[in-house]
Every structure is written in structure tokens, then in C-alpha cells.
Amino acid sequence: MHIQDIFKQHTPTFSFEFFPPKTDEAEDQLIQAVHELEELIPSFISVTYGAGGATRQRTHDLVLRIQRETSCDPIPHLTCIRHTEREISDILQRYAEAGISNILALGGDAPRDLVDYDRSRDRFRHAIDLVRYIKDFNETGVHPDPRGFGIGVAGFPEGHPSTPNRLLEIDYLKAKVDTGADYIVTQLFFDNHDFYDFRDRCRLAGIQVPIIAGIMPVTSSKGLMRMGELALGAHFPAKLLRAIARCHGDESYVRKVGVQWATEQCRDLLDNEVQGIHFYTLNRSTATREIYANLGVKNSKMLEKQS
């Protein structure tokens, strides 16, 4: 379903993110995890894209499997770094033929072994170039929906590391939206004030599209460190770190603290008119299910009614 229709039918939206596993067996397990989450009635499921290249085909395959084998609506991520125009065109063509309704258009980061990668010769230097290309593709009428693909873009409540000037950064985000993005999904954050402030700054800049809040529960001490890597520059509140320190390394308690923290974030976001919550699941369904249970609801529909 086109994202504009998803927002019309479900506000706030509740969505889950998965990454493509490396083996067929792991992919089967993941499809099982998606089936387990079906009862939560997600508004959509998003599938990440390996900017490095290794898992790109797997994103495509997984998206199509979710579309075919489950009741969930998959949204593929697409990063433009190191892609030629022909490659992007082929990918869009295939998704259009399969009836995939939306794409999350991203810049992507250079793989670790190519840290000095120079993007100046890339056909697509920034996500905005991809947004523009998808908009042009939409005009060709290849997509079964006359509007073409719905387009999402990334937003960074605490700022993106490569643009230290926060005013300029919002201008770049506004440009992506003005070029054709229908919605924004944020990087994970642990302090809702960062999200509310970002949302206010977007509105002040004239960005009116829905902004979906990215939530990732801490489920282990190792996971916490990994989140610091994934979301460079993210602020880890002392209150959360103190709560984790009190667990004295007992991972079952770390998990409880993390899920509780994420639950409180969600409760507060729901009380403050969030337009969508996106759960970074790390391919597991349990923590997300626990958050729903803590919120006292069986599925996303019940959360919608309460908003």
C-alpha cells in the first residue's frame, strides 16, 4: 500500500525493521519471526540494504518473500552509494513489477574497507539524488500505482556525523522532502526530548511530512556498544546507563531495563502525538512483543484507537 494511504488508515503507524540474513536457513528463521509478528498487525515491515554490496540481492529476495508469504507490507531500503544509474533503474523496475509500493531512499555509508571512498564521481552522491531519480521513475508510469513508489528518507534527531552544522542539515532534509519524500524515519534515540526538538525544528523549517520515531530497545551490554557504532553521535542518557550499571552484568536484567526504557519511550511518544513508531528489531520478535504487552495492547490497531 502506498505510504500516503498507510498514513491515512493507520495513525500512528507501527513498523518493524529487519536485515537480510546471510544464509537461506537464517532467512527461513526470519520469515518465521515475521510470521510471529503478524499478530501485532504492523503497518509495514522494512528491510535494510547492504551499502557494502554483499547482501544486496538478499534484500531483494527477502522483500519479495515477505510480500508473497506473509500478510505484511514490505518496504525495501535502497542506498545509492556506489550504484550506477543502470543498476538503480533495474532495481526500481523489478520492485515496480513485483508491486512493491514504497522505498526508503538512503545515501548509505562506504564499507569499512573503503573508508576513504570518494563519492564525487558517484552518479548519486546524496540520498536526494536518489529521491529525484525515483520521482522521475514514477513519472514513467511503469509502476502499477499511478503515483509510483511512495518515498521515505532518513532523519537524524541528534544530527548526522558528517554535517556538524545543524541548521544546514535541516536545510538538506527539507530539500529531500521538497524533492518528493513522503515521510521521514529517524535514527534511533533514547531521549524523547531529542525527537521532539527535531520534530519542532522540522516544522519550523516547513517540513510537514509525517516523521516516524526510530526505537531500538537495549537487549544486552554487547548490543549497547553496537548501537553506539550503528548510531554514531547518539546520546546515551546517564539515567539509562546507571540503570544498566545496576544490573552488574546480569544480562537478563540488562534486557529488562532496556525493554522497560523503550516501553516508556513509546508510551510518552504516543502521548505526544507521534505519527509513527519504527522498531529496530535486529531480526528478533521477542523484545517488540514485550513492549506491546507492557503497553497493554495486543496489536497495533489497539494502539491506534488509543491515540
Ligand X SMILES: Cc1cc2nc3c(=O)[nH]c(=O)nc-3n(C[C@H](O)[C@H](O)[C@H](O)COP(=O)(O)OP(=O)(O)OC[C@H]3O[C@@H](n4cnc5c(N)ncnc54)[C@H](O)[C@@H]3O)c2cc1C
Q: Which of 27, 61, 109, 264 binds ligand X (CB under 6 A)?
A: 109
| Options 45-53, 66-74, 197-205, 259-267: segment touching ligand X (CB under 6 A) | 45-53
Residue type, 88: I
Q: Would you give the binding string for ligand X spanning residues 127-166, x where CB under 6 A is met? A: xx-------------------------x-----x-xx---
Specify whether the CB–CB gap between 130 and 105 falls below 8 A.
Answer: yes
User: Whose Cβ is closer to ligand X: residue 75's or residue 257's?
Assistant: 75
Residue count, binding to ligand X (CB under 6 A): 22
Q: Which of 15, 43, 79, 192 binds ligand X (CB under 6 A)?
A: 79
Contacting residues for 130 by C-beta, under 8 A, at least 6 apart: 78, 80, 88, 105, 106, 107, 124
The whole-angstrom separation of Cα 202 and Cα 211 is 9
Contacting residues for 202 by C-beta, under 8 A, at least 6 apart: 155, 170, 173, 174, 184, 211
- Is 169 a binder of ligand X (CB under 6 A)? yes
Min CB(187)–ligand X separation in Å: 4
| Options 90-98, 140-148, 169-177, 293-301: segment touching ligand X (CB under 6 A) | 169-177
User: Whose Cβ is closer to ligand X: residue 138's or residue 187's?
Assistant: 187
Q: Among all residues, whose Cβ is closest to ligand X?
A: 107
Query: Regarding beta strands 102-106 and 150-155, do their DSSP bridges make them parallel or antiparallel, or are they unpaired?
Result: parallel
- Is 243 a binder of ligand X (CB under 6 A)? no
The percent helix, strand, coil of the chain (3-state, each to 5) is 50, 15, 35
- Is 76 a binder of ligand X (CB under 6 A)? no
Tell me, yes or no, if 69 is annotated catalytic. Answer: no
Specify whether the CB–CB gap between 219 and 247 falls below 8 A.
Answer: no
**Residue 141: Cβ-neighbour burial (10 angstroms; 0-12, 13-18, 19+):** exposed
User: Whose Cβ is closer to ligand X: residue 211's or residue 244's?
Assistant: 211
**What angle, 0 to 180 degrees and rounded to 10, lies between the N-to-C axes of helices 56-69 and 85-97?**
10
Specify whether the CB–CB gap between 40 and 289 falls below 8 A.
Answer: yes
User: Whose Cβ is closer to ligand X: residue 135's or residue 256's?
Assistant: 135
DSSP conformational letter for 131? H
- Is 63 a binder of ligand X (CB under 6 A)? no
Residues at the contact surface with ligand X, assessed by CB under 6 A: 48-49, 51, 77, 79, 106-109, 126-128, 154, 160, 162-163, 169, 172, 176, 185, 187, 214
Please give the positions annotated as active site. 17
